[in-house]
Amino acid sequence: MKENIFDVIMYLFENYMEDEIDILPDNELIKTELEEAGFDQVEVVKAFDWLESLSLQGQITPTVPTAFRIFSSQEQEKLDLECRNFLMFIEHSGILSHANREIVIDRAMALENEEISLEKLKWIVLMVLLSQPDEEIAFSRMEDIVYDLIPAYLH
């Protein structure tokens, strides 16, 4: 089975994380289940590390509230123009705060050998919002976008 870290994360998200992202209960049992389901052990460990890093992310407090974001060359390589525009769109729409945008970018960059498509980025945003306190409304709005209940871009 040719699975990658993102596939494992998505499987965990869809099957184990309904209310909030936290260190999953009984990690060893879940890891064993994933390996028995055909996921590679290395990818499973990396996915758990990714999720653990997400749960450890604290709220970032921007020092300048009107600052704008310039993407580094590594970020531009990882996040194409469509992804960067989407991040700016949901930030300007009030779905994503400046602080959560930085966590999303960090988590996207942490998927080392992954190509980040717009669809993957939407799921990363959803997972970040789920992991942050008091983001239920933003999570709900983003969930509508992920599941195509409303168009992402309104013209």
Contact in structure between 47 and 9 (CB atoms under 8 Å): yes
pLDDT of residue 66: 60
Contact in structure between 152 and 93 (CB atoms under 8 Å): no
pLDDT of residue 21: 46
Q: Which stretches of the chain are DSSP H helices?
A: 5-16, 27-36, 41-56, 73-78, 81-92, 98-110, 118-131, 136-146
19: Cβ contacts below 8 Å, ≥ 6 apart = none
- Reported as half-sphere exposure (CB side, CA atoms, 13 A), residue 24 has a value of 21
Q: Is the pTM of this model over 0.85?
A: no
Q: Tens digit of pLDDT for each residue in 4-58?
A: 888 888 888 887 765 444 444 577 888 888 888 888 888 888 888 888 888 776 6
- Give the torsion sign (CA, 70, 107, 151, 119): positive
| pLDDT, averaged across the chain | 83
Q: Tens digit of pLDDT for each residue in 138-155?
A: 999 999 999 886 655 554
The answer, yes or no, to whether residue 62 has pLDDT greater than 60, is: no
Token pair 């310039």 in the structure block, residue: 70
Question: What is the three-class DSSP state of 79?
Answer: strand
Span 63-80, average pLDDT:
83
